[in-house]
């Protein structure tokens, strides 16, 4: 079911004490989450159980991992599997964040395997896509994003796309303070929905939550989120400040 989602991606930030303060601070805000909305907190692996425990009685709050490996278990030193994440009650996994693609060389094929293993182990992927600056300047961003989606997701059956979340994150807008305009976000997100419509039909396309990510802040979230194909945001820097993220949650439509 399509939901409006405010997702925090803490990335590789926070000591244990900072993580505790951040989650407690959010809880203290006492924001009530209505049924068709969700708040997802993607924390570093060491804090997953803590986040899960603290948020377990909070309606609408979900916990996400920021990555997973392609295999369920075995000799893969340093990796974390979706079987493990499922066993501690994690709800979502961010797949294919541009930092994973760029810094760790994750390609569309590997990401298709990560999506598969998430779905096998009852974890919902938040599948990230988005173009670098040069592609935007060449005006080939629509083809670029379509290729990312086609190569990583088009092998899925329609039923596997229930509860699926996509995050469009133009790389030139991540952590730069340079946000895509709400119009640019809407145009791309309508395009993404149309890609799913052509492959899977209108009902499936309409059921997918498509988030925007890239310098979402308290002062621009409302304008971006009110666009018809923007179902909330994947928020980096601003999710590390309680008051900022609380305002972003309240900006969901
Ligand atoms: O996952 C979040 C995105 O990379 C956006 O990060 P940002 O809000 O710091 O630009």
Tell me: the pLDDT tens digits for 194-207?
A: 999 999 999 999 99
Residue nearest to atom 6 of ligand 1 (CA): 236
Express as a percent the part of the chain with pLDDT over 70: 100
User: Residues comprising the binding site for substrate?
Assistant: 9-11, 175, 215, 236-237
Q: Among 131, 213, 218, say which to mutate for ligand 1: greatest number of ligand atoms within 8 Å of CB.
A: 213
User: Using a 6 Å cutoff on CB, does residue 236 contact ligand 1?
Assistant: yes
In the reported structure, the alpha carbon of residue 97 is separated from the centroid of ligand 1 by a whole-number distance in angstroms of 9
In the reported structure, the alpha carbon of residue 235 is separated from the centroid of ligand 1 by a whole-number distance in angstroms of 5
Chain position carrying tokens 């997918």 = 208
Chain position carrying tokens 């998430």 = 118
Provide the β-strand partners of residue 212: 168, 233
Structure tokens at 102: 């760029």
pLDDT at residue 180, as a whole number = 84
Q: Which of 168, 186, 187, 182 is nearest to 130 (CA)?
A: 168
pLDDT tier, 177 (very low <50, low <70, confident <90, very high otherwise)? confident
Average pLDDT, the chain: 96
User: Using a 6 Å cutoff on CB, does residue 213 contact ligand 1?
Assistant: yes
Catalytically active residues are: 97, 169
User: Using a 6 Å cutoff on CB, does residue 169 contact ligand 1?
Assistant: yes
User: Using a 6 Å cutoff on CB, does residue 8 contact ligand 1?
Assistant: no
Strands 165-168 and 124-129: parallel
With contact defined as beta carbons under 8 Å apart, do 40 and 8 qualify? yes
pLDDT at residue 73, as a whole number = 97
Lowest mean pLDDT among 5-14, 49-58, 75-84, 168-177: 168-177
CB neighbours of residue 197 within 10 Å: 16
pLDDT at residue 228, as a whole number = 97
Summarize pLDDT for 77-99 with one digit per residue, the tens.
Answer: 999 999 999 999 999 999 999 99
pLDDT at residue 162, as a whole number = 85
Calculate helix-pair angle for 108-120, 141-153, nearest 10 degrees: 50
ipTM score assigned to the predicted complex: 0.99
Structure tokens at 172: 């030139």
pLDDT at residue 174, as a whole number = 85
Residue 59's φ and ψ, nearest 5 degrees, are -60, 130
With contact defined as beta carbons under 8 Å apart, do 38 and 3 qualify? yes
CA-to-CA separations, 38 to 6, 12, 92, 148, 249, in angstroms, rounded = 6, 23, 12, 26, 9
Structure tokens at 79: 């990796």
pTM here is 0.97
**pLDDT surpassing 80 at residue 224:** yes
User: Using a 6 Å cutoff on CB, does residue 202 contact ligand 1?
Assistant: no
* 3-class state of residue 97 by DSSP: coil
User: Using a 6 Å cutoff on CB, does residue 235 contact ligand 1?
Assistant: yes
pLDDT at residue 216, as a whole number = 95
Give start and end residues of each alpha helix (H) in 56-201: 82-87, 98-104, 108-120, 133-137, 141-153, 182-200
In the reported structure, the alpha carbon of residue 185 is separated from the centroid of ligand 1 by a whole-number distance in angstroms of 14
Summarize pLDDT for 181-191 with one digit per residue, the tens.
Answer: 999 999 999 99
- Rounded to whole angstroms, the Cα distance separating 219 from 84 reads 37
In the reported structure, the alpha carbon of residue 168 is separated from the centroid of ligand 1 by a whole-number distance in angstroms of 11
Query: In the chain, what are the domains?
Result: 4-250 (3.20.20.70)
User: Residues comprising the binding site?
Assistant: 9-11, 175, 215, 236-237
Average pLDDT rounded to a whole number, residues 168-183: 87
Residue nearest to atom 7 of ligand 1 (CA): 236
**pLDDT surpassing 80 at residue 141:** yes
């Amino acid at each position: 079911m399509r939901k409006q989602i405010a997702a925090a991606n803490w990335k590789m930030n926070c000591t244990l004490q900072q993580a505790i303060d951040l989650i407690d601070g959010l809880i203290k805000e006492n924001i009530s989450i209505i049924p068709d909305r969700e708040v997802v907190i993607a924390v570093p692996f060491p804090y997953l159980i803590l986040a899960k425990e603290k948020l377990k009685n909070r309606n609408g709050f979900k916990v996400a991992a920021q990555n997973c490996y392609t295999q369920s278990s075995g000799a893969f030193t340093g990796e974390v599997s979706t079987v493990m994440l499922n066993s501690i009650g994690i709800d979502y996994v961010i797949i294919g964040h541009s930092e994973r693609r760029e810094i760790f060389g994750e390609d569309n094929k590997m990401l298709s395997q990560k999506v598969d293993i998430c779905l096998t182990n009852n974890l919902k992927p938040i599948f990230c896509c988005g173009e670098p600056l040069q592609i935007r300047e060449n005006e080939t961003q629509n083809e670029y994003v379509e290729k990312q989606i086609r190569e990583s997701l088009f092998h899925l059956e329609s039923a596997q796309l229930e509860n699926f979340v996509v995050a469009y994150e133009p790389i030139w807008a991540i952590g730069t303070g340079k946000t895509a305009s709400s119009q640019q976000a809407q145009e791309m997100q309508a395009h993404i929905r149309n890609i799913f419509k052509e492959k899977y039909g209108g009902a499936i396309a309409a059921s997918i939550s498509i988030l925007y990510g890239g310098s979402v802040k308290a002062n621009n979230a409302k304008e971006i989120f009110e666009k018809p194909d923007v179902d909330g945001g994947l928020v980096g820097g601003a999710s590390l400040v309680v008051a900022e993220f609380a305002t972003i949650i309240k900006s969901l439509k």
